[in-house]
Each structure stands twice: as structure tokens, then as C-alpha cells.
Chain A
Amino acid sequence: MAQIDLTLAPAGKKKSKKRSLWADAWLRLRKNKSAVAGMIMLATILIVIYSSPLYLDYDNDVIKPDLTQTLQFPAEGKLLGTDELGRDVLARILWGGRISIGIGVLAMMLSSIIGCTLGAISGYYGGKTDGIIMRSLDVFMAIPSLLLMITLVSIMKPTITNLIIALAIGSVPSVSRMVRAQVLYIKGQEFVEAIRAQGASDFRIIVMHILPNAISPLISQFVMEIAGLILAISGLSFIGLGVQPPDPEWGAMLSSGREHIRDVWHVTAFPGIALVLTVVALTLVGDGLRDALDPRMKR
């Protein structure tokens, strides 16, 4: 901590310009080697995966079976081999990544919207409101989140929209708790009292003043939660309740490759590697963000 402060101080003097919280955080993030590694990994993954529609055709490259080419080992032309229906594993991993990551991010956005609303109301108003919201969330917390997601998906039919909703509901309780804890902490600070004394409405205080302050330490948690959700989607797809065939998804690819593990290893190995690399990248970035955004957490 002392080291970072020493190196930052002269730089600040030279420019004699005050940095915003975000610029400051960005500077700290850039100095963190593992966070930089994570950002490079994540950026590469996102660019490669999200540019895939430019060079892949969904109907021809991703879902079209070619029964003359089933379960081929990696070779030239098919870098990661083919699956049990002769489809290119690499193409399906790239396309599947868009689905996994896309669902993970959307579900996290939905759950952070709900979680921030509930957490902010609960933490700000306290008392009976807090009691009612928190006790109802306790009920959801009492069911393991994966079991809750499985129950919701199988009741609603596994479409992508329903998956996003189920994953979001599964992660709302923990998100709301985190937001509530932050709001409770910030609510007690003097600047909030000052704003209230100026006659600001509760809504304004929460939305304009408390939430922006509450969110910055939470961003890293949200990034990590996305990693957890991506793992959950793959888990759901693995047991057949997630993304449905012929759409590729990493967990679903693992599941269909599982039947052929006696003959080939690449169909199950590569989607798993993609999954692990993505989760590692998100974890590194999340860790780095936590250190950069929440000075109290620094060691």
C-alpha cells in the first residue's frame, strides 16, 4: 500500500491535475500485473468470440452435421477436431461462447437491477421494510441456488430468455445482500445527512448519491458473479436443462461429448478449457478491480 502511494504521489504532482476516482482506479489497475493479464485474456476471448459471425456461418459451420467426418481428431483445417455429428469443435466453441457469456452478462445485469433496487430499499429504509425484504430473500437463500435455477428452468421450459430469468433469480438474494450492506454503510455517512438537510427526496438520495458510491466496491463482485453464472449455465446445459441442441454451448458440448469419452478426448477437453480460461480471466479482472476500486480491501 505504502509503495503504491509513493509512486503515485509524484505523478500526481507533475500533472497537478486531480484525478477522478475512476482514473485513479484505472491507474492502480494498470499497475496490477495479474489484472492486466486478466484483461488481455478477457479482451482476446471477447474479440475472438464476438467476431465469430464475421467468419462463421451459423447454418453451415456451426449446426450442420457432416456424418462422414464424425469424431475426427484435431488436424489441419479442423484445428480442434470434430464432434459426434462431424461438426467443427472450434467453430462450436466460438459460437457457444457468445451464448454462454451473453447469457451470463444479461442475467447478471437483470439480477443487479433487481438486487440493487431491493438492497437499496432494504438498506435505506430499514425497519419493517428491511425485515420483510430480507426475510423473503432468506427463503430463497435457503434453497441452493443451482437447485433453485434447475427448478425454475424445468418449470418454465429451457428457452434462452427463461434461462436468463432463472439465473438472475438465483443470484438476486446474494446481490441484494451485498448492496444492502454497502447502502447501510454509506447511509450513515455525513454527506448523506448533508444532502438530506438540503431537502433532497429519498429517491434522489438513493439513486444519485448512495447507489453510485455503493456500486464501485460491488463492481468486482459483479464481475466474479458473471463467472459463477457462466459456470451455472454450463452446469444446467450439462444436465440438459440449459441451452438446447443444436445450439452450441460449452456445457452442452461437454455433455454430448461425454458419451464418446472412451474413444476421443478432444470433444470434452476443449470446451472445458474455453470455460476455464474465461472464468480465470473474469476472476483476475474481478480481483484487480476489487483492489483498484476498494481502497479498504488493499493489502
Chain B
Amino acid sequence: MGRYILKRLAQMIPIVIGVSIIVFLLLSLSPGDPAKMILGLNAKEQELQMMREQLGLNDPIPVQYFNYMKKVVVGDFGTSYSTKQSVIEMIGVRLPPTLILAFGSLFTILIVAIPLGIALAVKQNSPFDNIMRVVSLFFAAMPGFWSGILMIILFSVHLGWLPANGFDTPSAMIMPIICSSIAGWAVNSRITRASMLDVIRQDYIRTARAKGLKESIVIRKHALKNALLPTITSVGMAVGGCFGGSVIMEMLFGINGMGKMMIDALRQKDIPTIMAGVIITSVIIAVANLLTDLAYSFVDPRIRSMYARRKQRKEVAGHGAN
């Protein structure tokens, strides 16, 4: 298992390097002069030249890239062109709200969608199931920013229960997290329902029932774990979506997170900030994908034993070679 995790972490390196190359190329080739951004429109040509030299913008792009990456490897993401702050410090402030928003909504998706999906499967074709089928169709189609606006109108403007802005108090976190998870509730409760129905029809469940086990135990102890794999896959794939979606949520609710930082940086062509934002986001997503794969082995002992067996097989092969 440990070796598997190390191998997966090693596989992340080329991906992250690829991401950094693509974004660096895109930014370097796009129009706009960072020196002008820093010094303002009134700067003299001589000052601009000096600034370009100082930033290394006169070097060929590959040289610029290597100089940049040399610093990134030791954790130095440079200084923001627009705010003049250290990028890593900015991210230290901006990352926590985004993490809370993204993983908070993933967590909400799990605790709403799984019980709901199980209930729908157990009560298949009941009025509740039929109504939820239509409701989830509409929920899945609702963009977070629209449900967000509707919730602001209801809960902030009319009822005055929740603040419409910010992310510093728990009550301010409720709406952004719910809005970015509504579609996930709908989609994942459908997936849980479908896979639960598949599992419930299998022979071993009939056996468990025939043994006289209570239905709640049959569902919880026997059916649930097997039914969870598709849901885990789907929720794992939603991690990227949550991070992408958090950009819009942060703009809507005025949250000072990574997404808002990225948008501001993109508007001002603040290359160090954009690069750091994209690289860190892609690392977080890669780690989240790894955690998803590890969650499989947590839920399904067959997958867990597969890792162990692979290791054994390798050891046997190793001995053979010796």
C-alpha cells in the first residue's frame, strides 16, 4: 500500500510539470506587457526596459520557465505583479476559504446523497421516489450561481437569516456550500440509488434476508459497502468540478478565496499568481484523486487485497530474478 501511494505521488510530478509548462506558455505568448502592468501606463520606456530586465522577460521563454521552476521547487512562487506581495503568503490567506468551500460541499454531497439514494432504492417506485426523480432532474440542471441568487433573495433579502457576503462566520458558509453541492446531491443520490438497486437484487442479499436478518442490517451491513463504489467514483470526479465551480461561487458571495484571486490575477496578467494558483489547484486535485482511489480499498476488501497481492507477486518475481 505504501509503495502504491509513493508510486502515485511520483506519477503526479510529470502531470504538474506539464500543467506548469502549458500555463506558462499560454501566459507568455498572450498579449500584454507585465512591466507596464507593474509600473503603470505613465512609465518611461527606460524604466520599462529596466523592469523587463529585472523580471527576466527579455530571456527566451524556456530560460524564463526554468528560472521560474527553479524557484518553485524550493517553494518560492515569486512576488505578485499587482499586489507586490509574496505569492505564497497570498495563497496562505486565500486557500483556506476555497478548501473549506470545496471539501465542505463534497462532504455535504456525501452526507445528503448517500442516505437519500439508499432511501430512494428501498422505497423504489413509491410516490417519494417518483417525486424525487423529477426534483433531482431539476436540481442537477441548476447552476450554482442561480440557486445562489435565489437563496440570497430568500434568506438574505427577505428573511434576513443569512449574510449574503463573506465567508468568515459559519452562518456565512451555509449558502455557498449548499449552492455548490445541490447539483451533486441530485446526481449522486441517483447513482447511489441505481447501484443500491443492483446490489439489492443479488443472491447474497436474498440469503441474508432468508437468514432472518433485519432489513436495516441487510442494507447497512451487506448492501451498502458494495453499493458505494460508483458513488465514490462520481464524488471523486466531482472534486475538480468543485474547485472550478468555487471560482463562480467566490465571485457571487464575495469570498476572498483562490478563485477570486485567480480572476483578479488573470485580469491583470499577474503571471506569478496565476501560475501558483493553477499549479496548487492541480496538485490538490491530484491528491484528491489519489484519496478517492484509496477510498475504494477502504470500502472494498477485494481491492485492498489486490494491492497486497501485487506486492507479493512482485516480491516473488524479484526472488526469481535473483
With both chains docked as a complex, state the minimum distance between the C-beta of B299 and any C-beta of chain A, in angstroms: 23
A272 vs B150: C-alpha distance when bound (angstroms): 10
A28 within 8 A of B: no
Q: Which residues of B contact A186 (CB under 8 A)?
A: none
Among A143, A145, A227, A239, which residue has the most Cβ atoms of chain B within 10 A?
Answer: A143
Q: Which residues of A contact B274 (CB under 8 A)?
A: 151
A258 within 8 A of B: yes
Q: Which residues of B contact A150 (CB under 8 A)?
A: 247, 262-263, 266
The dominant DSSP class at the B interface is helix
* Cβ-defined partner of B149 (8 Å) among A138, A144, A151, A261: A261
* Cβ-defined partner of A147 (8 Å) among B142, B152, B153, B281: B281
Q: Which residues of B contact A280 (CB under 8 A)?
A: 137-138, 141
Q: In the complex the two chains form, is B157's CB within 8 Å of A261's CB?
A: yes
Q: A150-B247, A151-B26, A152-B26 are in contact. Are A235 and B143 (CB under 8 A)?
A: yes
Where the two chains meet, the residues of B that have a C-beta atom closer than 8 Å to any C-beta of A are 14-16, 18-19, 22-23, 26-27, 30, 137-138, 140-143, 145-146, 149-150, 152-153, 157, 240-241, 243-245, 247-248, 251-252, 262-263, 266-267, 274, 278, 281-282, 285-286
Closest partner residue, chain A, to B154 (CB atom): A265
10 CB-based A-B contacts, threshold 8 Å:
A135-B18, A142-B286, A143-B278, A145-B241, A147-B247, A150-B266, A151-B278, A152-B26, A154-B263, A154-B267
Q: A261-B153, A261-B157, A268-B153 are in contact. Are A238 and B18 (CB under 8 A)?
A: no
Q: In the complex the two chains form, is B263's CB within 8 Å of A239's CB?
A: yes
Q: In the complex the two chains form, is A258's CB within 8 Å of B149's CB?
A: yes
Q: In the complex the two chains form, is A154's CB within 8 Å of B266's CB?
A: yes
With both chains docked as a complex, state the minimum distance between the C-beta of B188 and any C-beta of chain A, in angstroms: 15
Q: A234-B143, A280-B137 are in contact. Are A261 and B282 (CB under 8 A)?
A: no
Closest partner residue, chain B, to A142 (CB atom): B282
Among A145, A272, A283, which residue has the most Cβ atoms of chain B within 10 A?
Answer: A272
A136 within 8 A of B: yes
* Cβ-defined partner of A156 (8 Å) among B30, B243, B282: B30
A221 vs B282: C-alpha distance when bound (angstroms): 25
Among B145, B157, B251, B274, which residue has the most Cβ atoms of chain A within 10 A?
Answer: B145
Q: In the complex the two chains form, is B23's CB within 8 Å of A151's CB?
A: yes
Where the two chains meet, the residues of A that have a C-beta atom closer than 8 Å to any C-beta of B are 135-136, 138-147, 150-152, 154-156, 227, 231, 234-235, 238-239, 241, 251, 254, 257-258, 261-262, 265, 268-269, 272, 275-276, 279-280, 283-284
Q: In the complex the two chains form, is B149's CB within 8 Å of A283's CB?
A: no
With both chains docked as a complex, state the minimum distance between the C-beta of B155 and any C-beta of chain A, in angstroms: 12
A245 vs B150: C-alpha distance when bound (angstroms): 23
The dominant DSSP class at the A interface is helix
Closest partner residue, chain A, to B12 (CB atom): A142
Q: In the complex the two chains form, is A146's CB within 8 Å of B149's CB?
A: no
A272 vs B144: C-alpha distance when bound (angstroms): 11
Q: In the complex the two chains form, is A155's CB within 8 Å of B153's CB?
A: no
A254 vs B150: C-alpha distance when bound (angstroms): 11
Q: In the complex the two chains form, is B150's CB within 8 Å of A139's CB?
A: no
Q: In the complex the two chains form, is A139's CB within 8 Å of B244's CB?
A: no
With both chains docked as a complex, state the minimum distance between the C-beta of B150 and any C-beta of chain A, in angstroms: 7
Q: Which residues of B contact A147 (CB under 8 A)?
A: 243-244, 247, 262, 278, 281
Q: Which residues of A contact B286 (CB under 8 A)?
A: 142
Q: In the complex the two chains form, is B149's CB within 8 Å of A268's CB?
A: yes
A234 vs B149: C-alpha distance when bound (angstroms): 14
Q: In the complex the two chains form, is B267's CB within 8 Å of A276's CB?
A: no
Q: In the complex the two chains form, is A265's CB within 8 Å of B153's CB?
A: yes
Q: In the complex the two chains form, is A143's CB within 8 Å of B282's CB?
A: yes
Q: In the complex the two chains form, is B251's CB within 8 Å of A238's CB?
A: yes
With both chains docked as a complex, state the minimum distance between the C-beta of A235 and any C-beta of chain B, in angstroms: 5
Q: In the complex the two chains form, is A262's CB within 8 Å of B149's CB?
A: no
The 5 closest A-B pairs by CB, nearest first: A146-B244, A144-B244, A139-B18, A279-B141, A272-B146
A140 vs B23: C-alpha distance when bound (angstroms): 10
Q: In the complex the two chains form, is B248's CB within 8 Å of A235's CB?
A: yes
Q: Which residues of A contact B281 (CB under 8 A)?
A: 143-144, 147
With both chains docked as a complex, state the minimum distance between the C-beta of A71 and any C-beta of chain B, in angstroms: 14
Q: Which residues of B contact A145 (CB under 8 A)?
A: 240-241, 244
Q: Which residues of A contact B146 (CB under 8 A)?
A: 254, 268, 272, 275-276
Q: Which residues of B contact A272 (CB under 8 A)?
A: 142-143, 146, 149-150
Q: Which residues of A contact B248 (CB under 8 A)?
A: 146, 235, 238-239
Q: Which residues of B contact A239 (CB under 8 A)?
A: 247-248, 251, 263
Q: A142-B15, A280-B141 are in contact. Are A155 and B27 (CB under 8 A)?
A: yes
Q: In the complex the two chains form, is B247's CB within 8 Å of A146's CB?
A: yes
Q: In the complex the two chains form, is A238's CB within 8 Å of B138's CB?
A: no
Q: Which residues of B contact A268 (CB under 8 A)?
A: 146, 149-150, 153
With both chains docked as a complex, state the minimum distance between the C-beta of B79 and any C-beta of chain A, in angstroms: 21
20 more A-B residue pairs beyond the given contacts A147-B278, A257-B149, with a C-beta to C-beta distance below 8 A? A135-B14, A140-B22, A141-B240, A142-B282, A142-B286, A143-B23, A143-B281, A144-B241, A146-B247, A146-B248, A147-B281, A151-B23, A239-B248, A254-B149, A265-B153, A268-B146, A268-B153, A272-B150, A276-B138, A284-B137
Closest partner residue, chain B, to A281 (CB atom): B141
Q: In the complex the two chains form, is B145's CB within 8 Å of A283's CB?
A: no
With both chains docked as a complex, state the minimum distance between the C-beta of A249 and any C-beta of chain B, in angstroms: 13
With both chains docked as a complex, state the minimum distance between the C-beta of B35 and any C-beta of chain A, in angstroms: 18
Closest partner residue, chain B, to A287 (CB atom): B137
Closest partner residue, chain A, to B16 (CB atom): A142
Q: A147-B278, A155-B30, A276-B138 are in contact. Are A142 and B150 (CB under 8 A)?
A: no
Among A152, A227, A234, A235, which residue has the most Cβ atoms of chain B within 10 A?
Answer: A235
